[in-house]
Amino acid sequence: MVDSAPRERSILISIDESENAQRAVDYVGRLVGNLPGFTVTLVSILEEPNQDILPSPDERDAYIQKQKKCLEAVLSQARDRLLSHGLDDSSVRIKIHQRLCENIAHCILDEQRLGEYGTLVVGRRGLSKSEEFLFGSVSQKLVTYANNCTVWVVE
């Protein structure tokens, strides 16, 4: 956490390659871009592959490296978008959170807790009910389980 920002001005945006994640980035950029005192951390969750999907360690390593490259590019582009909205270079950080996730939402919340971010931002995927039942809604889980922070869900 960057020391100078009050907690609620310390914003964590969880992003991936999706369009709704880009909308979340733009929303934050437009809202706080030219305001002082805000810091924004962009985080992408790199899920370690299930051992049943890729049992061989070499395949798993190759998968992780490929995903990492992809996410680094996504994060870099998102960072550039924030800077184009007026945020200062020193106010924006990017990171990749790599772990075996039972549940992506819990990984994001772990990151929020560790970094003591006061505001968590995520884009909404807009799933149908049956999709939400089967595959889950990250944004809904964040709203349900977030503790001691504010959650912004960007449509």
Site residues (vs other proteins, CB under 8 A): 47, 50-53, 55, 101-105, 127-138, 141
Question: Which residues lie closer than 8 Å to 35 by C-beta, 6 or more apart?
Answer: none
Nearer to other proteins, 34 or 51 (CB): 51
CB of 17 to other proteins, least distance (A): 13
Nearer to other proteins, 56 or 90 (CB): 56
CB of 75 to other proteins, least distance (A): 20
Question: Which residues lie closer than 8 Å to 89 by C-beta, 6 or more apart?
Answer: 83
Nearer to other proteins, 37 or 55 (CB): 55
Nearer to other proteins, 28 or 142 (CB): 142
Encoding tokens for residue 90? 């020193």
What's the per-residue H, E or C state across 17-75?
A: CCHHHHHHHHHHHHHHCCCCCCEEEEEEEEECCCCCCCCCHHHHHHHHHHHHHHHHHHH
CB of 30 to other proteins, least distance (A): 26
CB of 6 to other proteins, least distance (A): 31
Encoding tokens for residue 74? 């996504």
